[in-house]
């Protein structure tokens, strides 16, 4: 399979959203608690399964490439006051949802969720299980920093009901690790992978980043060889976006040490070929999975979905976002919590949910979201399915968009015919560019997005 066409990638080298939602989070505006409650009512009537997202914002050191919402501190006593507010938030949210909803997914992200002690992680999970109705077959995942994890932590995670772990690695090369202030040996990572497998975790995921300072094709090949030895079920290969004006820690990266645009592209091409050669399936965007992984199976069966945590096997979940800056997706709405920790605490101390922004999506948003989801998850769009789902005439509704796809059709990114759009191999890496054609908000957006490759 030839996914990589350097000339086309350079031609379509634009910035654009990652479509973890449509409309994207930069479009959210003022959103009241009353509006949120009305959306929970819709969710209660639909009885959709629930996905719980818990954001733990603390990290004890800062990685210079970081673009996340986090609080850097070595002071572990900061965790308990945060947990108290999180527990209040869980109670406020649980009061709104009726018990007919089953929790099909739980995810702890950050920051660094393992900043919490083992006892705190178990307590938080138990609090969620008291408040919501958990499925026996759910996917319960947590992001872990292998530098601070031992066998007791892994046992605690299993006790807290987690069955999937996601490990931050980024790169195994010591020079790269020093340049980004994240020194983490292969031995540390391997020990955590082995322990997770020994304690019955069903899926192990590893995050990598290309485009970091001091990286070269040669150095990254050595990293990929080590990753192959660990054989994780899923691999995320993120593109480092250097935006120091937006993300303060990135100002500590020496731009002279960053790989050139050509070298970066070469690293990406090499990685892509390497992972496919190792038997991984390209899921889309920056994700790879082993063929037997549920993500690859969901894609094959047309059940893959994309949400704020990336690709997901559960299409029809409402997401309850808990914690600082967490994003929820309930009923026909998106909502986002306060990003400032003082204001987040103040809202909960006043007995209020800390939701500050959001958006109720309209019919046009729903139609475009369905189109973008089909393209980004399955690389295919049948006009009939959208016409059937929304009662529109696809070709007249999207006449302008279909015209704009003509150039991509001519470039071999996709095959546009009377009834469908099929994304071809060369277009798979440029899927964000294809989706952007259907994004009604992009023309007026002032947001600075990352490069699509």
Query: Quick one: 326 or 423, whose CB is closer to ligand SF4?
Result: 326
Query: Quick one: 69 or 133, whose CB is closer to ligand SF4?
Result: 69
Least CB distance to ligand SF4 at residue 327 (A): 16
Instruction: Using CB under 6 A, pick the residue from 68, 217, 315, 346 that binds ligand SF4.
Output: 68
How many other β-carbons are positioned within 10 Å of the β-carbon of residue 23?
A: 21
Query: Quick one: 249 or 259, whose CB is closer to ligand SF4?
Result: 249
Query: Quick one: 108 or 379, whose CB is closer to ligand SF4?
Result: 108
Q: Could you tell me the maximum CA-CA distance found in the chain, to the nearest angstrom?
A: 62
Least CB distance to ligand SF4 at residue 120 (A): 17
Query: Quick one: 111 or 331, whose CB is closer to ligand SF4?
Result: 111
Instruction: Using CB under 6 A, pick the residue from 18, 70, 264, 368 that binds ligand SF4.
Output: 70
Residue 224 CA to residue 30 CA, distance in Å, equals 44
Tokens linked to 259: 């790989």
Query: Quick one: 43 or 112, whose CB is closer to ligand SF4?
Result: 112
> Is residue 63 a contact point for ligand SF4 (CB under 6 A)?
yes
> Is residue 59 a contact point for ligand SF4 (CB under 6 A)?
yes
Residue 164's region, left for phi above 0, alpha for psi from -120 to 50, else beta, is beta
Least CB distance to ligand SF4 at residue 101 (A): 30
Q: How many residues bind ligand SF4 (CB under 6 A)?
A: 11
* Helix ranges, 253-362 (H): 261-277, 294-300, 341-349
- The CA–CA distances, whole Å, from 179 to 52, 144, 289, 294 equal 35, 21, 29, 35
Instruction: Using CB under 6 A, pick the residue from 66, 142, 192, 355 that binds ligand SF4.
Output: 66
Query: Quick one: 241 or 370, whose CB is closer to ligand SF4?
Result: 241
Residue 450 DSSP one-character state: P
Overall size of the chain counted in residues: 453
Sites for ligand SF4 among residues 87-116 (CB under 6 A): 110-112
Sites for ligand SF4 among residues 156-195 (CB under 6 A): 168
Residue 198 CA to residue 176 CA, distance in Å, equals 30
Sites for ligand SF4 among residues 113-152 (CB under 6 A): 145
Residue 92 CA to residue 380 CA, distance in Å, equals 40
Residue 281 CA to residue 265 CA, distance in Å, equals 20
> Is residue 402 a contact point for ligand SF4 (CB under 6 A)?
no
384 preceded by a cis bond (ω within 30 of 0): no
User: What is the pairing mode between strands 420-423 and 414-416?
Assistant: antiparallel
Binding site for ligand SF4 (CB under 6 A): 59, 62-63, 66, 68, 70, 110-112, 145, 168
């Amino acid at each position: 399979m030839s996914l990589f066409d350097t000339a086309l990638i350079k031609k379509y080298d634009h910035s654009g959203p990652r479509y973890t939602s449509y409309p994207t989070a930069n479009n959210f505006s003022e959103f009241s608690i009353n509006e949120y409650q009305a959306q929970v009512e819709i969710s209660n009537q639909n009885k959709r399964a629930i996905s719980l997202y818990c954001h733990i914002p603390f990290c004890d050191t800062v990685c210079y490439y970081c673009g996340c919402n986090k609080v850097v501190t070595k002071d572990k006593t900061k965790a308990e006051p945060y947990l108290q507010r999180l527990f209040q938030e869980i109670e406020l949210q649980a009061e709104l949802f009726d018990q007919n909803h089953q929790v099909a997914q739980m995810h702890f992200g950050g920051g660094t969720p393992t900043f919490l002690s083992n006892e705190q992680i178990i307590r938080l999970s138990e609090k969620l299980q008291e408040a919501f109705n958990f499925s026996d077959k759910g996917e319960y995942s947590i992001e872990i920093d292998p530098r601070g994890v031992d066998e007791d932590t892994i046992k605690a995670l299993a006790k807290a009901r987690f069955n999937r772990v996601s490990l931050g690695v980024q790169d195994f090369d010591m020079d790269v690790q020093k340049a980004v202030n994240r020194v983490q040996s292969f031995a540390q990572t391997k020990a955590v992978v082995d322990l997770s497998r020994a304690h019955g975790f069903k899926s192990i995921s590893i995050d990598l980043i290309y485009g970091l300072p001091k990286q070269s094709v040669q150095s990254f090949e050595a990293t990929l060889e080590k990753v192959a030895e660990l054989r994780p079920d899923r691999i995320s290969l993120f593109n480092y976006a250097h935006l120091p004006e937006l993300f303060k820690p990135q100002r500590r990266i020496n731009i002279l040490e960053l790989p050139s645009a050509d070298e970066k592209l070469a690293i990406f091409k090499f990685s892509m070929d390497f992972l496919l050669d190792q038997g991984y399936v390209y899921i889309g965007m920056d994700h790879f999975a082993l063929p037997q992984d549920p993500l690859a199976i969901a894609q094959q069966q047309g059940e893959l979905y994309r949400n704020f945590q990336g690709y997901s096997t559960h299409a029809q979940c409402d997401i309850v976002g808990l914690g600082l800056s967490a994003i929820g997706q309930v009923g026909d709405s998106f909502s986002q919590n306060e990003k400032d920790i003082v204001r987040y605490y103040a809202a909960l101390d006043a007995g209020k949910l800390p939701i500050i922004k959001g958006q109720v999506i309209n019919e046009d948003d729903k139609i475009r979201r369905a189109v973008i989801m089909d393209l980004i998850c399955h690389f295919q769009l049948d006009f009939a399915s959208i016409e059937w789902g929304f009662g529109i005439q696809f070709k007249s509704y999207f006449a302008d968009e279909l015209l704009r796809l003509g150039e991509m059709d001519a470039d071999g990114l996709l095959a546009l015919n009377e009834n469908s759009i099929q994304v071809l191999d060369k277009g798979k890496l440029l899927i964000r560019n294809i989706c952007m054609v259907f994004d009604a908000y992009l023309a007026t957006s002032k947001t600075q997005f990352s490069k699509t490759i």
